[in-house]
């Protein structure tokens, strides 16, 4: 028996087309669109990973440069440690006394008294460091001649690179060799070094 | 009788068009092709998704392997930033350090013998107001000379001497009265009270100079 394929009539054609249309639409909305959304999401994740990897590779490539820069900065920073004020048994006045007394006595000043003043903050220009610094003024009163006072200032400036004279008072007394002298010398110090 | 025989071999439905391709045949075929196309499209999407996920997995693995070395770099960079911030403050302080020893030493040399200096005073500057972050601040103080002299000439000589090196490192000499900046400023110049043993009354002077500002800036 020969199978004869007869072309569909109009009604059959319409039904077939409609059936394929429904299946196609269902397939598009139920399968293709979710797959497309998954693909878009997967692309976004991949892009983010590529960006992250690029950053990581750039950072790793900079390792030598970072290390070299870090070494230079460490050396520069260490050079400051010598000039920083470090309290002696929690007292910056006693540390100043230990540093200045030998010079002052050598210059001929007597009756030296040391008093720590309130630290003054240094400005923070950008991001604050974990370790910050302040200015620690130390007030020194003594007696001696004006020349002795000037000698002490010169000695301190020569010996201590980071010490600055912020205040000075010389008041004459009956004895011109024994003026009443007050200095305020200032050191840089780590913030919180003295509680 | 002879009559023509009319044969109508075409069915009524076939009389609509002379084309051999009927729309009622092609429509389902097109619909079928569209469905097949959708399946192919889906297959491509699945293929791309598998490829993307495979690449993503590979990059993820590499990132995991690079985590420790990268963490080291992050720590080094943080350490470098910390040192930068510390050095910024310390360099700012270093730039502000003032050397006054030579000026003070020279003062004794230029002091006229007729001038008896009673008080030399450079008071501590006022405490600055600092916000964080800051653009820095500037400190100012004064330098006062109070003394006694028999005449005004020695004082004028002294003031003239203080306009030259090395005093310019310490003292500011300027006259801007419209801005309220006058240095030196003669706060007093008058006769002193008579003192026992003195033949003539001396003159008392009080002269104030502005000290060069001390800048705490980056």
Phi, psi at residue B136, to the nearest 5°?
105, 175
Residues of A in contact with B90 (CB under 8 A): 77, 80, 133, 188
pLDDT at B161 over 60: yes
Please tell me the distance from the alpha carbon of residue A49 to that of residue B53, in angstroms, as a whole number.
Answer: 12
Chain B residues touching residue A60 (CB < 8 angstroms):
66, 69-70, 73
Write phi, then psi, for A124 (nearest 5 degrees). -110, 115
Mutate to test the interface with B, among A125, A131, A176 (most CBs of B within 10 A): A125
pTM (2 decimals)? 0.77
| Residues whose CB falls within 8 Å of the CB of residue B171, separated by 6 or more in sequence, listed in order | B103, B143, B162, B183, B184, B209, B210, B211, B212
CB contact under 8 A, B136 and A123: yes
Query: CB within 8 A of B67, min separation 6: which ones?
Result: none
Asked if B102 and A53 come within 8 Å (Cβ–Cβ), the reply is no
Determine how many CB atoms are found less than 10 A away from the CB of residue A164.
Answer: 22
Nearest CA distance, A147 vs chain B (angstrom): 7
Please identify which residue in the block is written with the tokens 């009354």.
B201
Residue identified by tokens 């030399």 is B120
- What integer pLDDT is reported at residue A194 of this predicted model? 75
Average pLDDT over residues B160-185: 86
Between residues 55 and 74 of chain A, which touch chain B (CB distance below 8 Å)? 56-57, 59-60, 62-63, 66-67, 69-70, 73-74
Predicted-complex ipTM score: 0.80
Please report residues of B whose CB lies closer than 8 A to that of A132.
86, 89
In contact, B136 and A123? CB cutoff 8 Å: yes
**Tell me, what's the pLDDT at A13?**
87
Contact B153, B172 (CB under 8 A): no
- Residue B67 burial (10 A CB sphere; 0-12, 13-18, 19+): exposed
Is A1's pLDDT higher than 60? no
Using the CB atoms, write b or e for B9-30: b if 16+ within 10 Å: eeeeeeeeeeeeebebeebbee
Model pLDDT for residues A7-51, shown as the tens digit of each residue = 667 888 899 899 999 999 999 999 999 999 999 999 999 999 999
Please list every residue in chain A whose beta carbon sits closer than 8 Å to the beta carbon of residue B141.
166-167
DSSP secondary structure code for residue A127 in this structure: S
Residues in B touching A154 (Cβ below 8 Å): 101-102, 105
Total residue length of chain B: 218
B216 beta partners: B137
Residue B203 phi/psi, 5° resolution? -100, 140
**Section B154-178 average pLDDT:** 88
Query: What digits encode the pLDDT tens for the residues B52-85?
Result: 999 999 999 999 999 999 999 999 999 999 999 9
Residue-level pLDDT at B92: 93
- Rounded distance, CA A145 to CA A178, Å? 5
Beta carbons of A62 and B100 less than 8 Å apart = no
Find the CB nearest A125 among B118, B122, B133. B133
- Average predicted confidence (pLDDT) for chain B: 87
**Binning pLDDT at 50, 70 and 90, where does residue B21 land?**
low
Backbone angles phi, psi at B132, to 5 degrees: -120, 135
Kind and range of the H or E element at A177? none
Q: Which chain A residues contact residue B80 at CB under 8 A?
A: 66, 69-70, 73
Say if the Cβ atoms of B38 and A188 lie within 8 Å. no
Q: Which two tokens stand for residue B70?
A: 């990268």
* DSSP for residue B180: T
Q: Is A40 on the interface with B (CB under 8 A)?
A: no
Question: Nearest C-alpha of chain A: how many angstroms from B210?
Answer: 13
Most confident of A59-63, A139-143, B16-20, B110-114: A139-143
* Closest CA in chain B for residue A62: B73
Structure tokens, B152: 């005004």
């Amino acid at each position: 028996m020969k199978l004869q394929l007869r072309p569909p009539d109009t009604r059959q054609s319409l039904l077939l087309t409609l059936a394929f249309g429904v299946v196609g639409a269902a397939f598009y909305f139920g399968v293709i669109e979710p797959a497309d959304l998954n693909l878009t999401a997967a692309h976004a994740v991949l892009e983010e990973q590529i960006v992250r990897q690029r950053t990581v590779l750039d950072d790793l490539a900079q390792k030598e440069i970072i290390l070299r820069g870090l070494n230079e900065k460490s050396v520069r920073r260490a050079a400051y440690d010598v000039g920083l004020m470090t309290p002696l048994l929690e007292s910056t006045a006693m540390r100043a006394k230990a540093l200045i007394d030998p010079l002052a006595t050598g210059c001929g000043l007597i009756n030296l008294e040391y008093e720590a003043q309130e630290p003054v903050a240094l400005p923070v220009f950008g991001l604050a460091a974990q370790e910050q610094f302040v200015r620690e003024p130390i007030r020194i009163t003594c007696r001696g001649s004006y020349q002795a006072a000037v000698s002490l200032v010169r000695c301190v400036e020569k010996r201590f690179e980071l010490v600055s004279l912020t205040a000075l008072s010389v008041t004459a007394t009956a004895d011109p060799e024994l003026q009443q002298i007050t200095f305020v010398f200032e050191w840089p110090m780590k913030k919180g070094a003295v509680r | 009788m002879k009559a023509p025989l009319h044969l109508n071999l075409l069915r009524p439905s076939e009389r609509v068009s002379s084309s051999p391709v009927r729309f009622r045949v092609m429509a389902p075929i097109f619909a079928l092709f569209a469905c097949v196309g959708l399946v192919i499209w889906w297959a491509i999407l699945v293929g791309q998704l598998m490829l993307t996920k495979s690449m993503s997995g590979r990059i993820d693995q590499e990132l995991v392997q690079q985590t420790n070395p990268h963490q080291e770099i992050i720590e080094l960079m943080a350490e470098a930033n910390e040192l930068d911030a510390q050095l910024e403050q310390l360099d700012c302080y270093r730039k502000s350090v003032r050397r006054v020893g030579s000026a003070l030493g020279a003062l004794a040399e230029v002091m006229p013998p007729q001038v008896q200096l009673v008080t030399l005073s450079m008071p501590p500057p006022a405490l600055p107001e600092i916000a964080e972050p800051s653009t820095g601040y500037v400190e100012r103080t004064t330098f006062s000379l109070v003394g006694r002299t028999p005449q005004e000439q020695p004082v004028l000589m002294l003031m003239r001497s203080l306009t030259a090196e090395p005093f310019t490192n310490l003292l500011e000499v300027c006259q801007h009265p419209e801005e309220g900046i006058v240095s030196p400023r003669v706060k007093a110049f008058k006769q002193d009270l008579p003192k026992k043993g003195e033949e003539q009354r001396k003159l008392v002077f009080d002269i104030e100079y502005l000290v060069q500002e001390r800048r705490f800036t980056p």
